[in-house]
Amino acid sequence: MSRGPIVDTHLHLWDPKKLRYAWLDGNAVLDQPYLLDRYDAATEGLGVEAMVFLQCEVDTAQYEQEAEWVAGLARVDPRIKGMVAWAPLEKGRAVAADIERLARHDILRGIRRIIQFEPDLDFCLRSDFIAGVRTLADFDLSFDICVDHRHMANVLKFASQIPEVPMILDHIGKPAIADGVMEPWASQMHQLAELPHVSCKISGVATEADHANWTEDELKRYVQVAIDAFGFDRVMFGGDWPVAVQAIEYRRWVAILDEVLASATDVERQKFWRDNAVRFYRLETAR
């Protein structure tokens, strides 16, 4: 079975000594610098040829500093081919000024404004937020959808209103794996996949399971639902490093996915590990 090179569509990097990440406070595993040297150690020998950086919930006053910092890292290490930055999309069309500043960085490929942590489950349906996401089309940018399973019904309503913006569901929509719950998440995944502008990132799965007691078969069942729903043209690999290290080592996650893909064709595997990422995030046009 051939895997070939990997494009990791979900890489986090942070240094709490440089920028402020309040959500790391008290997390003994994550509240420390995670930079490319540690990523390289975690992925050694796996053939990762390129990465897409995902915003890391830096304090909102510093989101432009985060983008500047990552763009600097990419100038040193050109494997960072794309960046998905944060922007205050709830500002509606006024967010265009923020995005213009971010777009100075030629690796900008998309925006992620996390929905999951909003106490109002209808946040993504607010008119200003929808207008802000629509603005991404003016800049040829995509939108990363980060929610958990409680938001899936509203994500369907939200995504259907903005067909002009390519979207990707992070972490297969964060199903309640630790509770063994499959529905209605599985049915909602198939409904979301009916929208041709939405893709799915196979990432962060072990993090949604019981960190100490998950099984490979358990993770595989949820991954298979996502692949069956979206098909091999709209799924792609994400490492979610280092968040995922709370539950799983990077190379074990890759090994589990290799087993899931054992019956796939070489072309399907290449789409999953590399080609879909290059197409969705337009990485061939990156320097």
Nearest Cα residue to 236 out of 284, 204, 262, 191:
204
* All structural domains of the chain: 6-282 (3.20.20.140)
> Which stretch of DSSP H or E encloses residue 52?
strand 48-54
Query: Whole-model pTM?
Result: 0.96
Percent of the chain with pLDDT over 90: 97
pLDDT for the residue 284: 77
Structure tokens, 212: 């100490």
pLDDT for the residue 82: 98
Residues in the chain: 287
pLDDT at 287 over 90: no
pLDDT tens digits, residue range 99-154?
Answer: 999 999 999 999 999 999 999 999 999 999 999 999 999 999 999 999 999 999 99
From CA 80, how far away is CA 286, in angstroms rounded?
Answer: 9
Are 214 and 247 spatial neighbours (Cβ–Cβ below 8 Å)?
Answer: yes
Helix axes 216-230, 250-260, angle to 10 degrees: 60
From CA 14, how far away is CA 177, in angstroms rounded?
Answer: 27
pLDDT for the residue 286: 47
pLDDT tens digits, residue range 39-64?
Answer: 999 999 999 999 999 999 999 999 99
How is residue 268 annotated by DSSP?
H
- The DSSP annotation for 97-112 comes to HHHHHHTTSTTEEEE-
pLDDT tens digits, residue range 197-227?
Answer: 999 999 999 999 999 999 999 999 999 999 9
pLDDT tens digits, residue range 254-280?
Answer: 999 999 999 999 999 999 999 999 999
Q: How far apart are the first and last CA of the chain?
A: 31
Query: Which of 105-114 are b and which e, b meaning 16 or more Cβ less than 10 Å from the residue's Cβ?
Result: bebbbbbbbe
